[in-house]
């Protein structure tokens, strides 16, 4: 017994000591990370900017330093803002000799990938090299890497080049099993956001628009790769039809998709040789975050500023969750954006604003409020919109009033339409669960919106009339902002999604170009020769992101286990419950792969 107590106490003491030591190490690491955030990295001679393209790419970097320790999900690449700033600085820094792309397995919207690729093409104008190596290339990763002077592949690796597909999910049958029906009110033949809840497959108008924008994006990708790799568009299409990823790596070399099969240790030797370094000279790598944070030698603080305001995510009226467990990602919160834009309007040093929009839309009410603030801002200083991967529906709503609109050729935009969805859960509650309702009311529609019954004909008529008024307002805003006739706007509206390239031809955007092009346009409108760029709003602190992700991740995992196959349906119903009744939104997920 004494031995048992002795060993137990010893174990407890060891556990306490281990906990204390771990906490000390954690605090020291935390202090180190906080201190490093405030440091400006120096760039050594013979430096190569190393870009790891493994994971998802978003607009802005969200630091999650403890992701691996806390069971975080897929790795997150530095945001597009960080990557493009790093590449631009690397172009002009004499200590940086080139760029090395590795692990090119990323995923991202076609426009985001296209903008990163364009930044690399701009870098090549410096005469510096770009080398790419990966064990495997995703299609987006290969599209970016195709700009490289030399593409290398693991001898057992593959290149995924298969074309584009969109595979939306439909929940109607699952909802039928639960006894849930979706009451839909919309304007727009092509407004397909509601289809997953009322159909079991795509409508013909939706199939038509998806085919159109997928074809447009794919043709652009083939032309870009054809130019970089000296392959014909027909050759690239044939390789896609063969699903080239299923062939041996030697097939990639034979068909000139890659230049050489090699291993990682040989790549570093190749880089040293290319830089003509001696055996005793070291090869220095720098990360995009460090490069983006480095000082520009010619930098001089200017009083005149151009503000780049990032409007990214679902458009909501107030801060809060629009999907279960709070795992919503970034949001465009109407009340916050209005306050921020008002502050930029009143800031005398800000001479122009570039609104960077990456959103599939959301609340029509919030979109209208933001549109109004853009109008007020435009009266004081130029406003230029730069569209990212998505600027559709509500995302286009908040963009249409700008002085100028820039989009990438593969941006998904348009989707000018309005809808409302109200779930009818009366069958689930009354028949399957067994809960009964009764009602006493003073007026005919006092119980409108109750969960105990579906909406009646009169209520449905009122909802549809409200949706149609919203559509008239939306199309009117577009006509005024784009200086188009209302009938011409309605002819290309109807909720239809267009690529940036198509939208330019239709007059919905002014020019094709990236964020940098939009900033230069804003400077020209403001008649500025010298200015500094400032980014708004500040990204979420990494420690706040960590807390949010951990909490939402835990709750989501628990609910997935409890609800099983019903998790997705309940999640969507929860999301709809918390959304505004009137939505200006793209299909919930374009799902391009």
Torsion of CA 214, 216, 222, 227, to 10 degrees: -160
**Domain check: are 399 and 512 in the same one?**
yes
Q: Are 221 and 525 in contact (CB under 8 A)?
A: no
Pick from 333, 365, 337, 334: nearest CA to 353: 337
pLDDT score of 492: 96
| Res 221 pLDDT > 80 | yes
**Domain check: are 498 and 518 in the same one?**
yes
Three-state SS string over 170-221 comes to CCHHHHHHHCCEEEEEEECCCCHHHHHHHCCCCCHHHHHHHHHHHHHHHHHH
Tokens of 69: 């320790």
pLDDT score of 180: 87
Q: Dihedral of CA 422/426/428/429: which sign?
A: positive
Asked if residue 191 belongs to a domain, the reply is no
Active-site option among 97, 191, 351, 490 = 191
pLDDT score of 56: 85
Asked if residue 187 belongs to a domain, the reply is no
Give the Cα separation of 589 and 591 in Å (integer): 5
State which residues form the domain around 434: 305-585
Give the Cα separation of 44 and 48 in Å (integer): 10
Q: What is the pLDDT of residues 436-493, one digit of tens each?
A: 889 999 998 888 888 788 999 999 999 999 999 999 999 999 999 999 999 999 999 9
Asked if residue 156 belongs to a domain, the reply is yes
The answer for residues whose C-beta is within 8 angstroms of residue 526's C-beta and 6 or more apart is 304, 306, 351, 352, 381, 382
Say which range, 5-14, 121-130, 231-240, has the weakest mean pLDDT.
5-14
Pick from 194, 142, 192, 198: nearest CA to 166: 192
Q: What's the CATH number where 281 sits?
A: 3.90.226.10
**Domain check: are 272 and 412 in the same one?**
no
| Res 374 pLDDT > 90 | yes
**Domain check: are 105 and 156 in the same one?**
yes
Chain mean pLDDT for the chain? 85
- Most confidently modeled of 169-183, 206-220, 284-298, 447-461? 206-220
Other residues' Cβ atoms within 10 Å of the Cβ of residue 467: 23
pLDDT score of 420: 86
**Domain check: are 408 and 354 in the same one?**
yes
Q: Are 123 and 149 in contact (CB under 8 A)?
A: no
- Strands 412-414 and 404-407: what pairing? unpaired
| Res 281 pLDDT > 60 | yes
**Domain check: are 329 and 465 in the same one?**
yes
Asked if residue 298 belongs to a domain, the reply is no
Q: What is the pLDDT of residues 520-550, one digit of tens each?
A: 999 999 999 999 999 999 766 555 555 555 4
351: which DSSP letter? E
428: which DSSP letter? I
| Res 68 pLDDT > 60 | no
Domain count, the chain: 3
Three-state SS string over 236-284 comes to HHHHHHCCHHHCCHHHHHHCCCCCEECCHHHHHHHHHHHCCCCCCCCCE
Q: By three-state DSSP, how is residue 586 classified?
A: coil
Angle 415-418-420 from CA coordinates, rounded to 5°? 135
**Domain check: are 279 and 354 in the same one?**
no
324: which DSSP letter? G
pLDDT score of 425: 84
Q: By three-state DSSP, how is residue 119 classified?
A: helix
Residues forming beta bridges with residue 424, ordered by sequence position:
181
517: which DSSP letter? H
CA distances from 161 to 89, 216, 225, 237 (A): 31, 17, 11, 9
Other residues' Cβ atoms within 10 Å of the Cβ of residue 178: 16
Got the DSSP string for 467-484? HHHHHHHHHHHHHHHHT-
Q: Are 396 and 506 in contact (CB under 8 A)?
A: no
Asked if residue 227 belongs to a domain, the reply is no
- Most confidently modeled of 85-99, 275-289, 421-435? 85-99
Give the Cα separation of 545 and 537 in Å (integer): 15
SS3 content of the chain, % helix, strand, coil (to 5): 45, 20, 35
CA distances from 327 to 68, 322, 330, 583 (A): 18, 9, 9, 20
- Distance, CA of 111 to chain centre: 10
592: which DSSP letter? B
pLDDT score of 36: 46
Active-site option among 138, 393, 410, 571 = 393
Q: How many CA atoms lie within 13 A of 146 on its CB side?
A: 29
**Domain check: are 449 and 554 in the same one?**
yes
Alpha-carbon radius of gyration of the chain:
27
Phi and psi at 108, nearest 5°, equal 180, 170
Give the Cα separation of 171 and 161 in Å (integer): 30
**Domain check: are 513 and 567 in the same one?**
yes
Asked if residue 289 belongs to a domain, the reply is yes
| Res 577 pLDDT > 70 | no
Give the Cα separation of 344 and 6 in Å (integer): 67
Which is more confident, 303 or 324? 303
Q: What is the pLDDT of residues 229-242, one digit of tens each?
A: 999 999 999 999 99
Q: What is the pLDDT of residues 155-176, one digit of tens each?
A: 999 999 999 999 888 988 988 8
Give the Cα separation of 159 and 225 in Å (integer): 13
Q: What percent of the chain is modeled with pLDDT above 70?
A: 79
Q: By three-state DSSP, how is residue 421 classified?
A: strand
The answer for residues whose C-beta is within 8 angstroms of residue 358's C-beta and 6 or more apart is 59, 112, 310, 311, 312, 313, 387, 388, 389, 390, 391, 395
Q: By three-state DSSP, how is residue 453 classified?
A: coil
- Residue 393: active-site member: yes
Q: Which residue has the tokens 């584009």?
A: 164
Say which range, 137-151, 277-291, 344-358, has the weakest mean pLDDT.
277-291
Q: Are 367 and 584 in contact (CB under 8 A)?
A: yes
**Domain check: are 388 and 532 in the same one?**
yes
- Residue 436: active-site member: no
pLDDT score of 578: 56
Give the Cα separation of 230 and 257 in Å (integer): 10
Asked if residue 493 belongs to a domain, the reply is yes
Give the Cα separation of 132 and 142 in Å (integer): 9
pLDDT score of 99: 98
Last residue of a domain, one of 230, 264, 293: 293
**Domain check: are 267 and 400 in the same one?**
no
Q: By three-state DSSP, how is residue 581 classified?
A: coil
Q: Are 48 and 96 in contact (CB under 8 A)?
A: yes
Say which range, 117-126, 277-286, 292-301, 351-360, has the weakest mean pLDDT.
292-301
Angle 497-147-360 from CA coordinates, rounded to 5°? 20
**Domain check: are 45 and 144 in the same one?**
yes
Asked if residue 215 belongs to a domain, the reply is no
- Distance, CA of 555 to chain centre: 24
């Amino acid at each position: 017994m004494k031995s048992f107590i002795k060993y137990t106490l010893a174990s407890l003491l060891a556990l306490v000591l281990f906990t204390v030591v771990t906490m000390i190490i954690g605090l020291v690491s935390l202090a180190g990370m906080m201190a490093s955030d405030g440091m400006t990295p120096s760039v050594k001679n013979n430096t190569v900017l190393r870009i790891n393209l493994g994971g998802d790419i978003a607009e802005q970097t969200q630091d999650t330093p403890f992701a691996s320790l806390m069971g975080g999900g897929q790795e997150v690449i530095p945001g597009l803002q960080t990557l493009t700033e790093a590449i631009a600085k690397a172009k002009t820094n004499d200590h940086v000799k080139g760029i090395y792309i590795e692990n090119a397995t990323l995923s991202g919207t076609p426009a985001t990938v296209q903008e990163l690729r364009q930044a690399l093409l701009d870098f090549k104008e410096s005469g510096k090299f770009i080398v790419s190596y990966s064990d495997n290339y995703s299609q987006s990763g290969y599209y970016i890497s195709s700009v490289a002077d030399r593409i290398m592949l693991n001898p057992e690796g593959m290149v995924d080049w298969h074309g584009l597909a969109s595979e939306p999910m439909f929940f109607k049958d699952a909802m039928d099993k639960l006894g849930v029906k979706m009451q839909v009110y919309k304007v727009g033949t092509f407004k397909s956001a509601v289809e997953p809840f009322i159909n079991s497959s795509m409508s013909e108008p939706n199939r038509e628009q998806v085919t159109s924008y997928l074809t447009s994006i794919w043709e652009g990708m083939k032309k870009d790769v054809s130019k970089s790799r000296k392959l014909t568009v027909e050759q690239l299409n044939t390789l896609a039809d063969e699903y080239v990823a299923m062939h041996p790596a030697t097939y990639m070399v034979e068909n000139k998709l890659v230049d050489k099969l090699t291993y990682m240790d040989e790549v570093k030797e190749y880089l040293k040789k290319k830089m003509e370094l001696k055996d005793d000279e070291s090869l220095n790598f720098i990360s995009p975050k460090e490069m983006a944070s480095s000082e520009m030698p010619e930098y001089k603080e200017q009083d005149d500023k151009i503000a780049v305001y990032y409007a990214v995510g679902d458009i909501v009226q107030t801060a809060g969750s629009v999907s279960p467990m709070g795992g919503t990602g970034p949001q465009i919160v109407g009340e916050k954006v209005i306050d921020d834009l008002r502050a930029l309007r009143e800031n005398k040093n800000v001479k122009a604003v570039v609104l960077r929009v990456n959103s599939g839309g959301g609340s029509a009410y919030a979109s209208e409020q933001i549109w109004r603030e853009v109008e007020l801002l435009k009266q004081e200083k130029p406003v230029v919109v730069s569209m990212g991967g998505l600027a559709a529906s509500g995302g286009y709503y908040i963009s249409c009033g700008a002085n100028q609109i820039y989009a990438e050729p593969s941006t998904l935009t348009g989707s000018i339409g309005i809808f409302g969805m109200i779930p009818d859960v009366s069958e689930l509650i009354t028949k399957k669960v067994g809960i009964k309702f009764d009602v006493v009311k003073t007026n005919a529609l006092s119980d409108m919106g109750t969960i105990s019954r579906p909406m009646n004909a009169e209520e449905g008529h009122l909802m549809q009339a409200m949706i149609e008024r919203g559509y008239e307002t939306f199309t009117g805003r577009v006509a005024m902002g784009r200086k188009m006739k209302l009938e011409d706007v309605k002819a290309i509206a109807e909720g239809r999604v267009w690529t940036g390239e198509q939208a330019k031809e239709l007059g919905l955007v002014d020019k094709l170009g990236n964020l940098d092009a939009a900033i230069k346009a804003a400077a020209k409108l403001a008649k500025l020769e010298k200015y500094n760029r400032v980014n708004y709003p500040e990204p979420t602190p990494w420690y706040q992101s960590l807390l949010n992700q951990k909490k939402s991740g835990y709750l989501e995992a628990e609910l997935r286990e409890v609800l099983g196959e019903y998790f997705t349906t309940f999640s969507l119903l929860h999301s709809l419950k918390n959304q505004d009744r009137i939505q200006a939104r793209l299909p919930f997920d374009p799902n391009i792969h």
